[in-house]
């Protein structure tokens, strides 16, 4: 059975409640789907993606259009407190991914703060996925054995990393078709984490810049180029097993999990917009409109490395240039206002999953940092690395096998 079929896709119709009323269902409350502002929702928004499975959702499951990524610092060194938080987070994640309100709901006992903050009432599941990872400092703080595969990334030339947008003990990646659903999920986790963890940095993203769904139209990044053409497809189980999922080489709790690299990459888009089309295309080694590799005519034509400029992004990052190094990309665009100097603070929030950092992000970024002609137009300003455990089974919680 494929991972996708294991991850039961529930339709909104199956979750909707008759009469438009909010009624109790199991441990949670179903959010009304009837009142959802459908015009602003992307196709597939009324679907939910199952939380439980052998891998965490949000890695190889279809990419949603919106992101809220949050990195937390622990405010305790007590394993007990962290276990309690992860249990509460897991229970809430199960409810939120099924379009249910957290705990006793947004309108529970009158004299206590509600269990759910309420801004997702009336919104469908929006294919919400929540994915958790543990940074190197998580293991140091809790005196737990760090998996061999998890290491701090080396410094790369031209990195200008802001500590306030880097690192963190625990990360949560929330992806959904509706930004309000993703933000609601993170906000409720922040609220539940009070006393055990506090938010260190976070990033909103839009317009997925890569797809894991073959045959879907490849999305474009803020430079106007199709991004994700040569990504690993969610249906390619062989590639996922080889390059994304940790196997027997990792500790038991990491099997079926993956290592995540997050990089906030600022784009100097004003300079880019004054660059000729020819130079833009030479930088990637692909055409802008079609996305075809140089030497080909269609987007999915095979990449013939010798036809691409020697320092072009695609030639340098291609697995054949790097002894097979391969990653699963899952990034999003961002624009966070302007920088006071007449420029947009815009770019790519790059997310990459891999089985082994040394056969994934590290060698690729080493090659790109040294030679990529794209470097004139970008700067890495934030960074994080996290070990994302394998999937959660019903009744268990995030990190159970590590912390129990």
Ligand X SMILES: C=CC1=C(C)c2cc3[nH]c(cc4nc(cc5[nH]c(cc1n2)c(C)c5CCC(=O)O)C(CCC(=O)O)=C4C)c(C)c3C=C
- In the complex, the residues that contact ligand X under the rule CB under 6 A are 221, 223, 225-231, 263, 265, 267, 284, 286, 303, 313-314, 317-319, 327, 347-348, 350, 361, 364-365, 368, 378
Nearer to ligand X, 187 or 263 (CB): 263
Q: Which is nearer to ligand X, 29 or 317 (CB)?
A: 317
Closer to ligand X at the Cβ: 293 or 389? 293
Alpha carbon distance 33, 22 (integer Å): 10
Shortest spacing between CB 250 and ligand X, in angstroms = 22
Cβ proximity to ligand X, 52 vs 313, nearer residue: 313
b/e per residue 137-174 (b: at least 16 CB within 10 A): bbbebbeeeebebbeebeebeebebeeebbbbbbbbbb
In whole angstroms, how close is the CB of 209 to ligand X at the nearest point?
A: 7
| Residue recorded with tokens 């294991």 | 6
* Residue 348 C-beta: closest distance to ligand X, Å: 4
CB 58 within 8 Å of CB 157: no
Shortest reach from residue 230's CB to ligand X, in Å: 4
The nearest distance, CB 310 to ligand X, in angstroms, is 15
| Residue whose CB is less far from ligand X, 32 or 312 | 312
Q: How far is the CB of 317 from ligand X (least distance, A)?
A: 4
Q: How far is the CB of 29 from ligand X (least distance, A)?
A: 41
CB of 286 to ligand X, least distance (A): 5
Looking at the Cβ atoms of 5 and 238, the one nearer to ligand X is 238
Is the Cβ of residue 55 or residue 318 nearer to ligand X in the bound state?
318
How far, rounded to the nearest angstrom, does the alpha carbon of residue 2 sit from its chain's CA centroid?
21
Min. distance of Cβ 327 from ligand X in angstroms?
A: 6
* 68 vs 226 by CB, closer to ligand X: 226
* Angle subtended by helix axes 79-97 and 179-193, to nearest 10: 150
| CB nearer to ligand X: pick between 188 and 383 | 383
Provide the minimum distance between the beta carbon of 235 and ligand X in the complex, in angstroms, as a whole number. 17
Q: What count of other Cβ atoms lies within 10 Å of the Cβ of residue 238?
A: 8
Closer to ligand X by CB, 125 or 316: give it.
Answer: 316
The three-state DSSP-derived secondary structure of the chain is: CCHHHHCCEECHHHHCCHHHCCCEECCEEECCCCCCCHHHCCCCCCCEECCCCCCCCCCCCCCCCEEEEEEEEECCCCHHHHHHHHHHHHHHHHHHHCCEECCCCCCCCCCCCCCCCCCCCCCCCCCCEEEEEECHHHHHHHCCCCCCCCCCCCCCCCCCCCHHHCCCCEEEEEEECCHHHHHHHHHHHHHHHCCCEEEEEEEEEEEECCCCCCCCCCCECCCCCECCCCCCCCCCHHHHHHHCCCCCCCCHHHCCCEEEEEEEEEECHHHHCCCCHHHHHHHHCECCCCCCECCCCCCCCCCCHHHCCCCCHHHHHCHHHCCCCCCEECCEEEEEEECCCCCEEEEEEEEEEECCHHHCHHHHHHHHHHHCHHHHHEEEEEEEEEEECCCCCCCCCCCHHHHC
């Amino acid at each position: 059975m494929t991972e996708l079929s294991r991850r039961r896709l529930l339709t909104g119709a199956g979750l909707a409640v008759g009469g438009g009323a909010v009624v109790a269902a199991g441990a949670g409350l179903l959010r009304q789907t009837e009142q959802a502002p459908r015009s602003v929702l992307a196709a597939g928004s009324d679907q939910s993606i199952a939380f439980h499975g052998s891998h965490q959702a949000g890695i190889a499951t279809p990419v949603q259009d919106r992101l809220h990524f949050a990195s937390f610092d622990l405010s305790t060194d007590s394993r007990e407190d962290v276990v309690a938080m992860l249990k509460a987070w897991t229970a809430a994640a199960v409810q939120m991914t099924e379009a249910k309100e957290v705990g006793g709901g947004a309108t529970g006992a009158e004299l206590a703060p509600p269990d759910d903050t309420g801004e997702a009432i009336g919104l469908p599941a929006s294919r919400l996925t929540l994915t958790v990872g543990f940074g190197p400092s998580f293991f140091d703080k809790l005196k737990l054995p760090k998996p061999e595969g998890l290491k701090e990334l080396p410094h790369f030339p031209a990195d200008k990393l802001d500590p306030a947008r880097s690192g963190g003990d625990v990360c949560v990646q929330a992806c959904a078709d509706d930004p309000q659903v993703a933000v609601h999920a993170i906000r409720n986790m922040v609220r539940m984490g009070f006393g055990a963890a506090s938010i260190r940095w976070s990033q909103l993203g839009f317009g997925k810049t890569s797809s894991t769904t073959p045959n879907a139209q490849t999305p474009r990044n803020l430079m106007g180029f199709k991004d994700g053409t040569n990504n690993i497809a969610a249906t390619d189980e062989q590639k996922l097993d080889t390059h994304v999922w940790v196997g027997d080489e990792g500790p038991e709790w990491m099997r079926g999990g993956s290592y995540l690299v997050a990089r906030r990459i600022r784009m100097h888009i004003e300079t880019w917009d004054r660059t000729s089309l020819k130079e833009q295309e030479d930088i990637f080694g692909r055409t802008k409109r079609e996305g075809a590799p140089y030497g080909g005519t269609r987007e999915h034509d095979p990449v013939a490395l010798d036809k691409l400029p020697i320092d072009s992004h695609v030639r340098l990052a291609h697995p054949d240039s790097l002894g097979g190094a391969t990653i699963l990309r899952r990034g999003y665009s961002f624009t966070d206002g302007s920088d006071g100097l007449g420029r947009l603070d815009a770019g790519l929030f790059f997310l990459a999953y891999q089985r082994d950092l040394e056969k994934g992000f590290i060698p690729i970024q080493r090659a790109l940092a040294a030679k990529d002609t794209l470097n004139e137009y970008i700067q890495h300003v934030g960074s994080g690395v996290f070990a994302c455990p394998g999937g959660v089974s019903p009744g268990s919680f995030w990190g159970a096998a590590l912390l129990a």
